Amino acid sequence: MKDRVTAKDVAREAGVTAATVSYVLNGKSTVSISEETQERVWKAVKKLGYVPNQAAKTLSSSRGEGRSKSNLIGVVIPQTEDGKKFMFRNPFYGEFLSALEYGTRLEGYHLLISGVNADQKYIEIAKNRSLDGIVILGMYPSDEIQDYKKSGIPTVMVDCYCDHDHYFHSVRTDDCYGGYLATEYLIKNGHRRIAFVSGEIKEIGVSYMRYLGYKDALEEYGIPFDEKLIINGTINYEFGIEAANRIMKSNLDITAVFSTADIVAVGMVKGFRKEGVKIPEDISIIGFDDVYDSIICDPSITTVRQNIEMKGAAVAELIVSAAKNPKCPKKQIIIPIEIVERESVRRL
């Protein structure tokens, strides 16, 4: 039994050539086809339940116009640890992708989302699928950046510090300033023994920039930097619980924590609670992102808000504009940040 109806089947049913079927379905204005022939083709399509092959349409478009038109935008989230399924465990991604998907869908584009392991090259996927644009989240400097440059596919870098703004559009938060704001807020509330809890600190990455902001605030207020107060792991809820346990066992007289992600801060609240430690009476916590989890947590988390919905919408507007006009001037957008006061920090 045949699994799929093809254009040849439609052509046979309609009594025309496969080329004529292609011309009718793709609306080729340069080819003159009688209304009677077009009607036969469409009746055959309906009768057989034919669904055009999108990949074939894309290939045909690329041959005829010099550039593919797939109406697909690829979203790349590089995996920093092989085998991990961290992509959606951080609610930041869900909120960001929701805004991005909505903005692109309104313009007739669809998202193709993929995590990429450290040993994989996404650019080959992008070429094979004839993507109209690519959005890359949190990419570190690598040789693969050269591949994106050469591909000619419009690209928007999100939360990347790769210093290639003249090649790519970019959208990010001022993470260094955000790290400074969070630490300064704790200092102004009387805290001096402040732990820094984050994911892996890689140079020229988001965590690294927030780490620099943390150190800048300590220096400005005359507080000595202590390497023992730096706790690294994976950005998820479970690591927050682990970090709380490590702090409890450290005997470092920590009174406050700056967590570089709200989801980790929420995990820390759980971890401290298991040990009978009260937030903020015994220890204060400030997060970063302002995801929904920080609001519904008990106590709710004081945090550095980056407007995630605004970030997703800005990326959507940029990538759609670039997909429609690959030669449009490169833009760099910085999303504003602010402190949102809730219940997890107390004044000493």
DSSP for 9-46?
HHHHHHTS-HHHHHHHHTT-TTS---HHHHHHHHHHHH
pLDDT at residue 188 is higher than 80: yes
pLDDT at residue 29 is higher than 70: no
DSSP letter (8 states) at residue 47? H
Mean pLDDT for the chain overall: 86
In the numeric block, the tokens 């709200």 are attached to 262
pLDDT for the residue 139: 79
Same fold, 72-174+309-336 and 175-306: yes
Are the beta carbons of 254 and 247 closer than 8 angstroms?
yes
- Give the CATH H-level superfamily of domain 7-52: lambda repressor-like DNA-binding domains (1.10.260.40)
Tell me the three state secondary structure of residue 174.
Answer: coil
**What's the rounded mean pLDDT across residues 65-86?**
66
- Top-level CATH class of 72-174+309-336? alpha beta
Could you read off the pLDDT of 45-63 as tens digits, one per residue?
Answer: 888 877 665 545 544 444 4
Residue 88: half-sphere exposure toward Cβ, Cα within 13 Å: 6
Could you read off the pLDDT of 205-238 as tens digits, one per residue?
Answer: 899 999 999 999 999 999 999 999 999 998 999 9
Q: Which fold has domain 175-306?
A: Rossmann fold (3.40.50)
The residue among 22, 99, 92, 93 whose CA lies nearest residue 63 is 22
**For residue 152, what are the contacts with CB-CB under 8 A and spacing of at least 6?**
326
pLDDT for the residue 62: 46
Between residues 66 and 39, the one the model is more confident about = 39
Which of the four pLDDT bands, split at 50, 70 and 90, describes residue 90?
confident
pLDDT for the residue 59: 46
In the numeric block, the tokens 């690519």 are attached to 134
The residue among 315, 76, 297, 340 whose CA lies nearest residue 173 is 315
Are the beta carbons of 331 and 169 closer than 8 angstroms?
yes
185's tokens: 């807020």
pLDDT for the residue 1: 41
331 CB burial (10 A radius; 0-12, 13-18, 19+): middle
Domains of the chain, by residue range, sit at 7-52, 72-174+309-336, 175-306
